[in-house]
Chains A and B, each alone.
Chain A
Amino acid sequence: MSTATLDARTPGDLGGLLDFEADDIRGLLPHRWPMLLVDRAYNVSPGRSGYGIKNVTINEPFFQGHYPDQSIMPGVFIVEAMAQLVAVVYASAWVLEARAASQRADGDGDGAGTAARVGYLGAIRQMKFSRLVVPGDQLTLHAELGKKFGALTPVNVQASVGKELVAKGSLTVTERSAGGGNGLQ
């Protein structure tokens, strides 16, 4: 749907909100099973903010050991899901930029290669967990990107199940430069 959604938009129009299904997200991120932790993204304002959904089932591999007699989603996986939503938010902006650039150059670039540019988690600046996440829960993720500084972007993130807050905090994410490296200096 993202390709369709993106195609339908005027290239360079960064103002509208986009939705991404799981298949679209695989086109944006390098993550795959069992580490792709965003099932759907919606109301994504490319480069700015967005919402995501992670459905938690008993089939998640981590429940095997966390714990054998009590299934709890590890907090770091919640943070990872948040970070992946952040990657969707900024990678969607790259796709739009690439589309706009290729249209100007009259080329046929499709914005591919965003997965290779997705960077790393630079810092968990602050995070507070306020509710256990168990099989059957639907995590709603929210991310708001701050002002970019070099290859680093501060971001405020939040996860909830229904109206209950699960975790809230702020992260730093990096963007990999074209020349490789991890975005850190």
Chain B
Amino acid sequence: MTLGYAQLLDQAQARSALNLRVKTLLVESLGLDVRPEHIGDDQPLFGRGLELDSLDTLEIVVMFEEHLGVSISDDDRAAFGSVNRLVDFVVADLGEIPRVEALA
């Protein structure tokens, strides 16, 4: 299936909006001292990146269940690489890019 230009643009915008929504959720739920738009899509979440730790991981798990209806299990640790990885996981789990407007 090939997507038309309008569909591609729509998908890209939905994905971009979702990435920003996830960044905002991260900043709010973890109390990060950084503006959401300043977090890079591929910036590492742990170590030198956003300097998150294992307790923050659990915070993200709980937050994703509450706000996105997605359950991350212990086997899905690879999803914590970056914002893009997290959003990839959400999209794969839901089978589509959720519309930010429809999220809690």
A complexed with B: yes
Stretch at the interface among B19-27, B50-58, B85-93: B50-58
Docked complex: A96-129 residues within 8 A CB-CB of B: 122-123, 125
Give CA–CA (A126, B57) in the complex, Å. Answer: 16
Instruction: Decide: B53 and A152 in contact? CB cutoff 8 A.
Output: no
- A172 in contact with B58 given A147-B71, A149-B73, A149-B74 (CB within 8 Å): yes
Size class of the contact patch on chain A: 10 to 19
A185 to B53, CA, bound (A): 7
Contact across chains for A152 and B54 when beta carbons are under 8 A apart: yes
User: When the two chains form their complex, are residues B74 and A122 in contact, meaning their CB atoms are under 8 A apart?
Assistant: no
Which B residues touch A125, using CB under 8 A? 59, 62
Is the CB–CB distance between B59 and A149 below 8 Å?
no
Counting CB contacts under 8 A, is A154 at the interface? yes
Contact partner of B55 (CB less than 8 A), chosen from A146, A148, A152, is A152
B68 at interface (Cβ–Cβ under 8 A)? no
Residues from chain A with a CB closer than 8 A to the CB of B61 are: 147, 149, 154
Q: Which 5 A-B pairs have the closest CB atoms?
A: A185-B54, A152-B58, A149-B61, A149-B58, A123-B55
Could you list 11 A-B pairs, sorted by A, with CB under 8 Å?
A: A122-B55, A125-B62, A147-B61, A147-B71, A149-B58, A149-B61, A149-B72, A149-B74, A152-B54, A184-B53, A184-B55
